Amino acid sequence: MLSQKNILSAILSFLLYLSNHDIVCAFTTTTSGITHHHTFHNRNVDSSMFSSSSLTQQYHQKGRAPTKNRQGLSMVRAQRSRKSTSLCLSMKAQTPLPYPVRIAVMGGGNFGLALATVCGRQGIPTTILVRSETVVESINGSHKHPTYSPDLCLPQSIRATTDPKTALSDATYIIHAVPCQYTRSFLNNVKDDLPAGTPILSVSKGIESTSLGFMNEILEDVLGDDRPYAFLSGPSFAREIREGVATAVVIASEDLDLARDLANLLSDDRFRCFTSQDVPGVEIGGAVKNVIAIAAGMSDGLGLGTNAKSTLVTRGCGEMRRLGLFFGAYPSTIAGLSGAGDTFGTCFGPLSRNRQFGFELGQGKSVEEILASTTEVAEGVATAIALVNLIKSKFKGYRLDLKFPILFAVASILEGKTTPKDGLDGFMNMPMQMENFDERTFGGK
C-alpha cells in the first residue's frame, strides 16, 4: 500500500512532467443534464485561465478587453494558421483552444443554428437557448432542428435548452440571434441570467419599430454599456453556412481586439470573418439591404427584367450610402461585405426571405396574406417603415422622398398607400437630376 508521502511524491512528479511537456487533455462536464466536451492545451497557459468565468472577468474589465490580460486569446491567434490567398479562404484552427471556451446562442432560428454550426465545427461546446421542449428533444436527440432545414445535421458539440440559466451562466461568449423586433422583450426576460461583462455578438439586423434604434442601441439600452458588443453582417444565407459553402462576413466592434478574437474563434476554411470598427456602417448595411431586397423582389414579381432590377439595386445602394454618411459610416463599409455585398446576395439570391416577400407583393398578394403563409421572419418589412420614420425624425430638408425614393416607396407599399406598379411608375417619373450629388456636402440639410 502506498504511503501518503509516496502519493504526494507521485503527484509532484506528474505536475513537473506536465510543466515540461506539451499536453492536450479532453474532458467533459455536465450542467443541468447537458454534457459539454472540452479540450485543454497546457502550453504556457496560466491555470487561472482554465475557468471561463475567470476569463470573462479578466477579459472585460470596464467593458473593454485590456491587452495585458489576453494571454489565452493571444495564443488562439498565434496558434491558428493564417495562410490565405485571393483564391482560397483559409483560417483553420490547427490546435485545440488553450482554455475551455463555451458559446451560448440566444435564438434557435435559421441564423442562430448557422452560427451554432460554425462554432460546433470548431469543436467548441455550444448551447442554443430555444423556446420549445420539442426543439430541445430534437436537437439533443437527433442533432436536427424539426423545422429549420431538418435535413441538415448539427455538430455533436451542440446542445439545446429552454433554461436561460443553463445556457448562459458559464458562457465565454454569447451570440444574439433573436430577430430585431423581438430583441427588447427577449433580453428583458433573460438579462438577470447574463453573466456580467460577458461579450455579446449580435447577428440580428434591423431597426426597432418603437424606438427607431439599431441593434447596438437596443442592446445597450437594455443591458447597459458596461459589456463589450460586436456585430456580424455580410452575404451569409443560413443554409449555405450550415452546408459548409464558402462564406465571408465582417465583425464590427468599437473594441477591435474583441472583433479580432471573435473572427479568429469563428473562422475556418469555410467561414471567413473580416473585422471593422465601423459599427454604424455595418448596422446600416445590414438593415437597409433587406428593404432594397423587397424592392428587387417586387421587380421580379412584376416581371420587369434584369435592367429594372439592376437599376433598383444600384440606386438603393446609393440611398444606403447616403444614409450611412449621415450617421458617420465609412463609404468603404457601405461598399464592402456588410453593405453592397449583403445587398447583392439578398436581392439576387434564391434563399432570400425579403426578396421572396417582395416577389409575392409584386404578384398581387397582400402583406397580410404573405405574413400568414410563413413562419419565417422577413426583417425588411418592419425595418422599411421604421427606416422612413427614422429618416423623417433625423433629417432636415424638403422632399426627403426625392433623396430616398426607393426606401420611401417600399414603406408606402407595405403600408397599403400605393401598389408596386404605382411605386415603379413614380420612381421612373422622378424629376431629371444628376446620378449622384456631391455627398461631401450632404448632412441631411
For residues 50 and 421, the model is more confident at: 421
CA distance readout (Å), 421 to 302, 359, 362, 428:
8, 12, 8, 11
CA-wise closest residue to 111 among 346, 277, 279? 346
pLDDT of 55 over the 50 cut: no
Is the pLDDT at 332 greater than 60? The verdict is yes
Task: Single out the residue of 18, 78, 94, 82 nearest to residue 50, CA to CA.
Answer: 18
In this predicted model, what pLDDT tens digit does every residue of 365-410 receive, in sequence order?
A: 999 999 988 877 788 899 999 999 999 999 988 889 889 999 999 9
The confidence band for 430, taking pLDDT boundaries of 50, 70 and 90, is confident
Angle, to 10 degrees, between the axis of helix 279-301 and the axis of helix 379-394? 120
Whose grid coordinates read 442592446?
Answer: 219
For residue 277, the 8-state DSSP code is S
Q: Which of 289, 309, 403, 417 is catalytic?
A: 289
Q: Per-residue pLDDT for 293 more than 90?
A: yes
Q: The whole model's pTM is what?
A: 0.78
The amino acid present at 15, given as its one-letter code, is: L
- The predicted pLDDT at position 184 comes to 98
Q: Cβ(108)–Cβ(130) under 8 Å?
A: yes
pLDDT recorded at residue 438: 53
Answer whether 410's CB lies under 8 Å from 361's CB.
no
> What are the C-alpha distances in Å from 381 to residues 185, 206, 326, 415?
19, 10, 23, 10
Give dist(CA 240, CA 110) in Å, integer: 11
**Which pLDDT does position 7 carry in this prediction?**
54
pLDDT at 228: 97
Grid cell at residue 382: 418592419
Q: What is the CA radius of gyration of the chain?
A: 24
How is residue 319 written as a grid cell?
440611398
The arithmetic mean of pLDDT across residues 425-441, rounded, is 70
Evaluate if residue 50 carries a pLDDT over 50: no
365 classed as catalytic: no
Q: What is the band of 48 on the pLDDT scale with cuts at 50, 70, 90?
A: very low
Across the range 313-338, mean pLDDT stands at 96
> Treating both helix axes as pointing N-terminal to C-terminal, what angle do 180-190 and 379-394 enclose, rounded to 10 degrees?
90
The alpha carbon of 395 is separated from its chain's Cα centroid by a whole number of angstroms, namely 28
> In sequence order, which ranges of 143-278 are alpha helices (DSSP H)?
164-168, 180-190, 215-223, 238-243, 256-266
Residue 403 amino acid letter: K
Q: Which of 337, 211, 228 is nearest to 281 (CA)?
A: 337
Contact by Cβ (8 Å): 272, 247:
yes
Q: Mean pLDDT for the chain?
A: 82
Q: So what's the pLDDT on residue 361?
A: 95
Evaluated on CA atoms 393, 202, 315, 210, the torsion sign reads: negative
Q: What is the mean pLDDT of residues 285-311?
A: 95
Which cell numbers hold the place of 188? 428583458
Angle at 217 between CA 228 and CA 322, to 5 degrees: 115
Q: Which of 29-38, 86-95, 342-351, 377-386 is predicted least confidently? A: 86-95
DSSP 8-state class, residue 278: -
Cα–Cα dist 168/148, whole Å? 23
* Identity of the amino acid at 297: G
Q: For residue 187, what is its C-alpha cell?
A: 433580453
What is d(CA 119, CA 127) in angstroms, rounded to the nearest whole number?
10
Packing angle of the helix pair 405-414, 305-326 (nearest 10 deg): 110
Q: For residue 20, what is the DSSP state? A: T
**Mean pLDDT value across residues 190-216:** 96
SS3 assignment for 20-67 = CCCCEEEEEEEECCEEEEEEEECCCCCHHHCCHHHHHHHHCHHHCCCH
What is the arithmetic mean of pLDDT over 283-312? 95
Nearest-angstrom CA–CA distance, 277 and 263: 13
User: Which residue in this structure is represented by grid cell 472585460?
Assistant: 60
The lowest-confidence range among 18-27, 73-82, 366-375 is 73-82
Q: Any residues with CB less than 8 A from the CB of 383 and at least 6 apart, and which? A: 180, 205, 206, 207, 287, 288, 290, 291
